[in-house]
Amino acid sequence: MREQIDIIRDILDKQLVDRDHTAMGRVDGIVLSIDDGAPRIDHFELGFVVLACRLHPRVEQWLRAIRTRWSVRKSARQIVPWSAVQDITQREIRLDVHAIETSAFDWEKWLRKNIVSKIPGSGEE
Amino acid sequence: MRRFLSAALLLAACSRKSPDEQLIKQFDSVKSWSATVQFAGEKWRANSVPAFFMRATIAAAEKDYDAAARSIDQSRARKELRDQFRRELDAARASAQRLKHELR
Amino acid sequence: MKKATQLALGVLTAVGGFFDVGNIATCTQAGAHFRFQLIWSLILATIVVIFLIEMSGRFAAVTKKALPDAIREHLGFSFWFVPFLILTAVHLLVLAAEIGGICFALHLITGLPIQVWALPVAILVWLFLWRSTFNAIENSTSILGLITLCFVVAAIWHHPPVHEVLAGSLPSMPSHDPANYWFIAVSIVGAVIAPYLFYFYSSGAVEDEWDSTYIPINRVVAVIGMGFGSIISVGAIIVAGIVLAPRGIKVSDYHQAALMLTEIFPFWGYLLFAISMAIACLGAAVEVALSMSYTFAQTFGWNWGEDLEPIKDARFSLVYTIALLLASLFMVAGIDPLKLTIMTMATNAFVLPFVTIPFLLLMNDRKLLRDASNGIISNIATAAIVVLALVLAVVSIPLTFMGGS
């Protein structure tokens, strides 16, 4: 039987977790590709810029300008291919990746290394 | 724009209370503060509050008295009313002064 | 057995979370200006908050999701964006007011100026969050919070005229100064129905791993915890009404409120007031700061949890760190803590529709909550809450200019 999924209701904005159930962002955007006239989900997009463009093109422009100056993340839009999706449950979408190795954790890693680990009592050995 | 402004001013003028009422309302805080200073003074003599609390309370009260003195000067209320409030304000100031003296 | 202790702790936490700087400010003002006449607005707000807390706990128990998480997922980012910004602003204001309350309490104890305490207090709250786990924070602040019962003891020892107190429990028209009367009524509602409560409570339920078996416990915690909390606030109204009102002392500065317990406890009253205020505000400041982190982490899908060490959730920990720093600046700048509190409580009332409507929409989603979605009573209450929220939003702005003192 063909499985049917309502992509706006059940996928967009849903929590993403990795293999070990570490939260790694949300589905900020969904990109379809069209093969032989039939659309299919190609990948998810993550990132503040993706969210901003959902609000207003102007907001997106501002954020891009800020990003080029300040961001520690390499690309504005982080891409998660559909092939990485392992499971879709009521609660979350599980991906077959290690969160810490993806760019969803660029900011987290940068903050850990440059700020949090410098403050005593952070749990850093 | 000018029409809008004058309409706004007119509205503000209509909702305004008379100068007498306005001053009476402003003077409420002086009554409240002088009651506070008196009550706090009783409590200080009974050893219920520390001296530094007394000083801070009197300082806050005097700040309010200064503001009240300015609004009495600027008010267009009846002269008798303004004079009466000035006398009350002087009395409040005097009792605050007495307490400050005792605190030394 | 485990559930019994959880029940007790839940009730304690609810009591502790209820009574904070907003209640101290608005209830002493209400008592000092209008004696017992405004008790009704506290009762009304308590009934509303019981419904809302019960709903947010039930929601978390059934879906295992906290509110910001679920709102973003089911209503979408574009829908959530504006309430999220508003909630962030209100969180900051409330946090600043709670820090102001702690600073004032320390000023009462030490005599040093309020401004001096702003940064040390922010650091103290931060240390609590940085070093402790969720349950340690909850349990310690809520047990210490029992000291605020001194307001209830004082109210009883003053032998208040029962018929007057009962008469005040029903709404009535003001005897004087109507603008101020309605302004205080609105700010009491804003103080009791603080938006952070639901976002915090539901995130806490997720941290504690509630499931559907917790629905009855949740109900008891909401009713008894919030009910007890409001008794402390009624105590504060009564004491202010008996001690301050007859002397003509109106509360326009926390120094005036600080005298209210000295009549019944001549020796301890002053310190009791200061310590109660410090602890009530400390507990609330911790909750508000955490609530801010929860909201950010869930909105953007970061990993979160107060039980994790800061290095494991750097973004979560940095949100409360930055929030505390920003909020402490209000006191550094020398803003009067009482004026800030009153202004913030009126703002709380104003933003109520923005932060409750998304939540109430979810409570009726049968797909999400199945048979635990809102029943008819909850829905009537919900409709009443929305109407109340909208009315408050409309009246709170003009009242701020007319009645704010």
Residues of B in contact with C250 (CB under 8 A): 28-29, 32
Q: Which of C74, C132, C298, C313 is the mutation pick for testing A, counting most A CBs within 10 A?
A: C313
Instruction: Give CA separation, C114 vs A67, C118, C193, C334, C380, in Å.
Output: 39, 7, 27, 8, 45
pLDDT attached to residue C18: 86
Q: Enumerate the domain spans of chain A.
A: 7-118
Describe the strand order of the beta sheet including A29-35 as a list of residue ranges. Answer: A29-35, A38-46, A78-81
Q: CB neighbours (10 Å) of residue C79?
A: 15
Task: Say whether C107 and B46 touch across the interface (CB within 8 A).
Answer: no
85-124 of A, contacting C, C-beta below 8 A: 91, 99, 107-108, 111-112, 115-117, 119, 121-124
Do C275 and C147 meet the contact criterion of CB atoms below 8 Å apart?
yes
Is the pLDDT at A96 greater than 90? The verdict is yes
Q: Enumerate the domain spans of chain C.
A: 2-403
Nearest chain A CA: its distance from C30 CA (Å): 43
In A, minimum Cα distance to C308 occurs at A123
pLDDT attached to residue C279: 92
Q: Which of A51, A95, A112, A113 is the mutation pick for testing C, counting most C CBs within 10 A?
A: A112
**pLDDT tens-place values along chain C, 405 residues long:** 567 777 777 777 777 678 899 999 999 999 999 999 999 999 999 999 999 999 999 999 999 999 999 999 999 999 999 999 999 999 999 999 999 999 999 999 999 999 999 999 999 999 989 988 777 777 777 788 889 999 999 999 999 999 999 999 999 988 888 888 989 999 999 999 998 888 888 998 898 888 999 999 899 989 998 998 899 999 999 999 999 999 999 999 999 999 999 999 998 999 999 999 999 999 899 999 999 999 999 999 998 888 888 888 999 999 999 999 999 999 999 999 999 999 999 999 888 888 888 888 888 888 888 888 888 888 888 888 888 878 887 887 777 777 654
Describe the strand order of the beta sheet including A15-17 as a list of residue ranges. Answer: A23-26, A15-17, A93-95, A85-88
pLDDT attached to residue C184: 92
The domain C2-403: what is its CATH number? Answer: 1.20.1740.10
Cβ-based neighbours of A38, under 8 Å, separated by 6 or more: none
Beta bridge partners of A35: A38
pLDDT in tens, A16-25: 999 999 999 9
Task: Say whether C301 and A25 touch across the interface (CB within 8 A).
Answer: yes
Residue with tokens 């402490």: C328
Q: Which CATH number fits domain A7-118: 1.10.275.10, 2.30.30.240, 2.10.70.10, 3.40.50.720?
A: 2.30.30.240
ipTM of the complex: 0.93
Task: Say whether C262 and B49 touch across the interface (CB within 8 A).
Answer: yes
pLDDT attached to residue C403: 61
Nearest chain C CA: its distance from A114 CA (Å): 10
Task: Choose among C199, C191, C226, C229: nearest CA to C348.
Answer: C191
**Strand blocks (E) in C275-378:** none
Task: Say whether A122 and C309 touch across the interface (CB within 8 A).
Answer: yes
Q: Residue C256: which of B31, B36, B43 has the nearest Cβ?
A: B36
Question: Would you call A10 an interface residue with chain C, using a CB distance cutoff of 8 Å?
Answer: no
Fold of B17-103: Methane Monooxygenase Hydroxylase; Chain G, domain 1 (1.20.58)
Do C193 and C45 meet the contact criterion of CB atoms below 8 Å apart?
yes
pLDDT attached to residue B15: 54
Tell me the pLDDT of chain A averaged across its residues.
88
Task: Say whether A123 and C318 touch across the interface (CB within 8 A).
Answer: no
Instruction: Give CA separation, A73 vs A68, C312, C319, in Å.
Output: 10, 19, 19
**Strand blocks (E) in C213-320:** none
DSSP conformation letters of A47-88: SHHHHHHHH-HHHHHHHHHHHHHH--SSSSSEEEEGGGEEEE
Is the pLDDT at A72 greater than 80? The verdict is no
pLDDT attached to residue B1: 47
pLDDT band per the 50, 70, 90 thresholds, residue A3? confident
pLDDT in tens, B27-67: 999 999 999 999 999 999 999 999 999 999 999 999 999 99
Task: Choose among C52, C39, C31: nearest CA to C226.
Answer: C52
Do C192 and C405 meet the contact criterion of CB atoms below 8 Å apart?
no
Task: Say whether B52 and C111 touch across the interface (CB within 8 A).
Answer: yes
pLDDT attached to residue C405: 46
pLDDT band per the 50, 70, 90 thresholds, residue A9? confident
Q: Enumerate the domain spans of chain B.
A: 17-103
pLDDT attached to residue A120: 87
pLDDT attached to residue C360: 85
Q: How far apart are CA C137 and CA B72, in angstroms?
A: 51
Task: Say whether C310 and A122 touch across the interface (CB within 8 A).
Answer: yes
Cβ-based neighbours of C400, under 8 Å, separated by 6 or more: C183, C343, C346
In B, minimum Cα distance to C273 occurs at B49
pLDDT attached to residue C261: 96
